Amino acid sequence: MRADRLVATLLLMQARGRVTAKEVAAEFETSIATARRDLEALSAAGIPVYPQVGRGGGWQLLGGARTDLSGLTSAEARALFLLVGPAASLVPEAKSALRKLVHALPDSFRTDAEAAAEAVVLDPARWGRPHRAQPPLVTELQAAVIQRRKVRLSYRGWNRDPDERLCDPWGLVEKNEVWYLLGGVDGAQRTFRIERIIWAVVTEDPADRPDGFDLAEAWDTVVRDVNQQRESASTIVVTNTAILPFLREQFGELAVEDTAIDDHRARVRISAPAEIMLARGLAGWGEYIDVLEPASVRSELMRLGAALVERNGP
């Protein structure tokens, strides 16, 4: 988790005084671009970390090559603990790191720093839904990414039988409590939903990783591709503006585009991967929605309505 890296990066700078982004990347098994973003995040949070350009340059803590963490001001300590404190509510290791960091501060700063660390709690569970536990394979796959080892895995796609693949693991991403593995298979980038991995074995073979690979940039590309796929089908409806928030919750914020007709009605374009998903999603709002187009969505709604009447009618 990034919060762990930020604390670890700060401790590394305390020990070495001055570091380069390349050295940080090598220490924590990240890309140079990721290491540079972490250093910039510390600086943006108010920590006295600044870059030096030119030969022999790098990043260092203000005050010299052996600056101690007690050199932080009260405001800087609060900024650091506000930045990484929320992770402590989810990750025991982050809580332990913060506790160690507190002891490196002067007594006069500890109260404020501890209060800042406890000021924010992250609750990833959505209302009415339990928190999804982290898949057991996440820890094993994290180790494979850090150690740069190939992984042999069995993966079941949502509409396919499981098959076996040899993967170069490049990084893990958590999105809305769902974990994904990004990696290479036969030289091509692939994305695996970890809960669909049946089993995984970390091999002793070194993994290949593209030069300059940036996990955040790679994930941005995945997100763009998925959003395009989500727009494969669309429908135009007229509805009461009062239900627009519910439609956005159901189909996704980016999948609902509305234009006001008057104070109470709106013309709405709704997107989804398939027309049947549009019809099933709209069926529960039948009394509030008039489907203008396409006719195929109207036909599917009529079929669903007839099936409900037949199954549940008197």
Residue 233's CB is within 10 A of a number of other CB atoms, namely 18
Grade residue 16 by pLDDT with cuts at 50, 70 and 90. Answer: confident
Q: pLDDT digit string (tens) for 54-109?
A: 666 788 777 543 444 555 666 776 777 777 666 666 566 666 666 666 666 666 56
Averaged pLDDT for residues 147-170: 89
Q: pLDDT digit string (tens) for 268-277?
A: 999 988 899 9
Q: pLDDT digit string (tens) for 210-249?
A: 888 888 889 989 988 887 777 788 999 999 999 999 999 8
The pLDDT score that the predictor gives to residue 67 is 40
**Residue partners of 173: CB distance under 8 A and separation at least 6:** 179, 180, 182, 215, 219
The pLDDT score that the predictor gives to residue 159 is 67
Instruction: Say if residue 145 is exposed, middle or buried (CB neighbours under 10 Å; 0-12, 13-18, 19+).
Output: buried
Of the chain, the percentage scoring pLDDT greater than 90 comes to 31
Residue 169 reports pLDDT greater than 90: yes
The pLDDT score that the predictor gives to residue 286 is 85
Query: Half-sphere exposure of 259 toward its Cβ, with a 13 Å CA cutoff?
Result: 4
pTM, rounded to two decimals: 0.55
Instruction: Say if residue 259 is exposed, middle or buried (CB neighbours under 10 Å; 0-12, 13-18, 19+).
Output: exposed
Taking the chain, what is the end-to-end CA distance rounded to the nearest angstrom? 56
Averaged pLDDT for residues 250-259: 87
The long-range contacts involving 296-303, CB below 8 angstroms and separated by at least 24 positions, are 297/235, 300/275, 300/276
What number of H helices and E strands is found in the chain?
Answer: 11, 12
The pLDDT score that the predictor gives to residue 194 is 93
Secondary structure (3-state) at 128:
coil
Cα-based angle 276, 282, 285 (whole degrees, multiple of 5): 160
d(CA 174, CA 151) in angstroms, rounded, equals 19
* Bridge partners for 173 per DSSP: 180
**Residue partners of 57: CB distance under 8 A and separation at least 6:** 20, 51
Work out the mean pLDDT of the chain and round it to a whole number: 82
Q: pLDDT digit string (tens) for 182-217?
A: 999 998 999 999 999 999 999 999 999 888 888 888
Q: pLDDT digit string (tens) for 105-122?
A: 666 566 777 777 667 666
d(CA 96, CA 100) in angstroms, rounded, equals 6
Q: What six digits make up the tokens of 314? A: 């008197």
Residue 312 reports pLDDT greater than 60: yes
